[in-house]
A and B are shown apart, each in its own frame.
Chain A
Amino acid sequence: MKFLHLIWCNLKRKKLRTSLTLLSIVVAFVLFGFLSAIQQALVGGVGMAGADRLIVRQKVSIINLLPVSYEARMDRIPGVDFSTHQTWFGGVYQDPKNFFMQNPVEPEKFLKMHPEFILPPEQMKAWLATRTGAIVGRRTAERFHWKIGDKVPIQSPIWAKEDGSRTWEFDIVGIYDGKDKGTDTTALFFRYDYFDEARANVKGQVGWFTIRIKDPSQAAAVAKQVDAEFENSPAETKTEPEGAFIQAWARQIGNIVLIVSSILGMVFFTILLVAGNTMAQAVRERTGELGVLKAIGFTNGQIVSLVLAESCLLTVLGGTLGLGLAWTVISRGDPTGGLLPLFFFPTRDLLIGFGISIALGFVTGIFPALQAMRLRVADALRRM
């Protein structure tokens, strides 16, 4: 520790170069932060899937509906705890750009199925008491400044009401939170009984079912049984674990995600390479001085740690600043306005970033440090 001052003076010697190097490291780590947030936004849902949940959809395509009566038939299949359904409402609030999901659900079963959504009990009561009631996630509520008691009109291009109107008005009776920050709290949920009664056609048809199974290790067997139950009916089903379902959705977006992230990865390492090169150069320039230090009795170990400490100090400082900056910017939310509901900086990636900054300091410092260690004092002094 007593050499901290020496290290600090070495960094200060060329203030401009040090600060430029520092800044490029900061930029690299800001980029790293965005990279993980984008990754999280596009494929992060998979990790949030419940291991004990299966999704049942129509076999030809998810846009084809299933009869609501399937629910009771599924509940009778051994291994099934209970099931419930949702339907894609696809409504528009004010402007199509304000995208968020709204689905009709069975309130009690829905919240039992999805413990990741937390709704205060009195709001749950209000929902059960209000036919046109809807609950909305914290994020969307904040985005549109909705409060409990607000009436929210939503246009549905898909669903007309019996009177031909396409404007559905919901009473906000509750605002739910996510169990952790990986939970998507952008969706609005409203009551299926109201929906089914009010819609003009295809009454009794729903979008997809979620099944809770008793034993997650039996997922494949139960899924098979469910599909067998409805085989050769007009609406055959395809059942898969929720994780696989979400993953298939993420893969629909395709390898664009992969391409963008590999580009970003490349960039990150290019910037680090450039910064590392500059740092190594700064140490090489001081060969003579290191020789002097050795001449006055510094051990090899001390020289190596001195050089390593200097490079690590710089990268960790840059890394911390960059990650902090990324954290601040990312916490302000999704830059695309609603397209990426899960846009946040996962703690795990924050730690990885920090680890990379230490590793970077080590890698850039180690070669010049070893060189300095092997240096013969006489040679070094001659270079002065």
Chain B
Amino acid sequence: MAGPINWFSQIASVTKFGLMSLPQRRGAVAATVIGIAGVVAVLVGVLSIAAGFKQAMTVSGSPDGAIVLRSGADSEMVSGLDRDATRVIADAPGLARTAQGPLASAELFVIIDLPKRSTGTDANVPLRGVEAAALQVRDNLKIIQGRMFDWGKDEVIVGAGAAQEFSGLDVGSKIQVGRYEWPVVGIFSANGGVSESEIWSDAKVLQAAYNRGDSFQSVSVRLNSPAAFEAFKDSLTSNPQLSVKVSRQSDYYAEQSEVITRLITTLGFLIAFLMAVGAVFGALNTMYSAVAARTREIATLRALGFGGGAVVVSLMLESLLLALVGGVIGGGLAYLAFNNFHTSTMNWQSFSQITFAFRVTLELLARGVAWAAAIGLIGGLFPAIRAARLPIAAALREL
């Protein structure tokens, strides 16, 4: 007996009938597809904000990079290290070295007010004073326009993100820091990382402008290898001269982005969940009306000997198909609308602006389509069961 084959061919033919009748139910079908496309677009769209933010943070942390702050400080802004401490840190074991010395950059981190291009209102733009090793302790740093500033001179370079988001940061313009005016001589990129939101100057120049004497806020270093981190950390934390907190770059940036990622994902999921509930109702309505419109058809099929199971499966297939179409449309819309959308926001931990681009990743798209499938299955299940349970004789009498 060719049971399974027969069963599959039953499903195939019932599904085919269902699909052929779609044009007659245009309104309801379109409503379902639009509804589900909406859910997926929103889910993917909102989460792409969080994904983009996270990405900016992740590419910033290289596996062999580390950052040293004063112990108890949760961001560079509130940290402080004197010259002696930064020397001890630069001499610690495990640091990568070049002919010019260890790859350690003692840095200052302050903010200055600059107007946002989009609104014209002031924003806290980070201004970092760096030492010569800064370009090597971070990955993928490149000057893309103009030149590097000259050490010891009152000049700055600007991250590509900052140059795009805030006014007055083009090469050739000048930024005003208190009574000083510093020309912008170059623009750099950092593969989309956090540094792109910043303005950089020579640490010594910034110390003088801010009356910081010879003190710093953080030391960024590059290690020999990712494995050298533990030894580096232990030697610093066990040193009685120092009271510091040592983190891997990646952990530090993950911590820095936590608040905002939490905010966006909490809200994003909440919204998408509510929407999904709404879309399930929409899908249920569509499939119920599909079943109602085909009561006689289904009853005729059952009378001819088609099984209840085949009817259930094929109705669910139909609903799933509609949902997937909606999902793909929604994902596509989200991709077109949001991928690589540049913006900036306030990163509360560092009290400063961070520029980043939304990222519609494959993973997000897959998640969106999975939600669509779930909505389709739930929306198809109950109407399908009702169809299969229809008393055949009564349904046929409706003819």
Is A217 part of the binding interface, using a Cβ–Cβ cutoff of 8 Å? Answer: no
Is B31 part of the binding interface, using a Cβ–Cβ cutoff of 8 Å? Answer: yes
Is A11 part of the binding interface, using a Cβ–Cβ cutoff of 8 Å? Answer: no
Closest to A257 in B: B345
| Contact with B74, one of A27, A157, A256 (Cβ below 8 angstroms) | A157
Judge whether B288 and A252 touch: CB under 8 Å: no
Is B92 part of the binding interface, using a Cβ–Cβ cutoff of 8 Å? Answer: no
Q: Mark A255-278, 1 if CB is under 8 A from B, else 0.
A: 110011001101100110111011
Judge whether A34 and B270 touch: CB under 8 Å: yes
Is A63 part of the binding interface, using a Cβ–Cβ cutoff of 8 Å? Answer: yes
Is B139 part of the binding interface, using a Cβ–Cβ cutoff of 8 Å? Answer: no
Judge whether B38 and A270 touch: CB under 8 Å: yes
Judge whether A267 and B116 touch: CB under 8 Å: no
Q: Mark A236-255, 1 if CB is under 8 A from B, else 0.
A: 10100000100110011111
Collect the chain A residues with CB atoms within 8 Å of residue B74's CB: 92, 96, 157
Collect the chain B residues with CB atoms within 8 Å of residue A281's CB: 27-28, 289
| Contact with A270, one of B34, B113, B178, B277 (Cβ below 8 angstroms) | B34
Interface residue stretch chosen among A14-22, A75-83, A132-140, A208-216: A14-22
Give the CA-CA distance A64 to B112 in the complex, in Å: 9
Q: Mark B74-102, 1 if CB is under 8 A from A, else 0.
A: 10011100000000000000000000000
Judge whether B288 and A17 touch: CB under 8 Å: yes
**Least Cβ distance of B85 to chain A in Å?**
15
Closest to B358 in A: A259
Collect the chain B residues with CB atoms within 8 Å of residue A27's CB: 274-275, 277-278, 281
Is B195 part of the binding interface, using a Cβ–Cβ cutoff of 8 Å? Answer: no
Judge whether B345 and A254 touch: CB under 8 Å: yes
Within 8 A of A (CB), among B26-72: 27-28, 31-32, 34-35, 38, 41-42, 45-46, 49, 72
Give the CA-CA distance A169 to B369 in the complex, in Å: 52
Collect the chain B residues with CB atoms within 8 Å of residue A38's CB: 267
Within 8 A of B (CB), among A91-142: 92, 96, 99
Judge whether A34 and B110 touch: CB under 8 Å: no
**Least Cβ distance of A203 to chain B in Å?**
15
**Least Cβ distance of B34 to chain A in Å?**
6
Q: A24-B282, A60-B112 provided; 9 other pairs, C-beta below 8 A?
A: A247-B121, A253-B345, A255-B118, A256-B264, A264-B271, A267-B271, A270-B35, A271-B278, A275-B282
Q: Which residues of A contact B (CB under 8 A)?
A: 16-17, 20-21, 23-24, 27-28, 30-31, 34, 38, 59-64, 90, 92, 96, 99, 155, 157-158, 166, 234, 236, 238, 244, 247-248, 251-256, 259-260, 263-264, 266-267, 270-271, 273-275, 277-278, 281, 335-336, 339-340
Cβ-closest 5 pairs across A and B? A27-B278, A248-B121, A24-B281, A270-B38, A157-B78
Q: Can you list 6 A-B pairs with a CB-CB distance of less than 8 A?
A: A27-B281, A30-B274, A263-B46, A270-B35, A335-B267, A340-B263
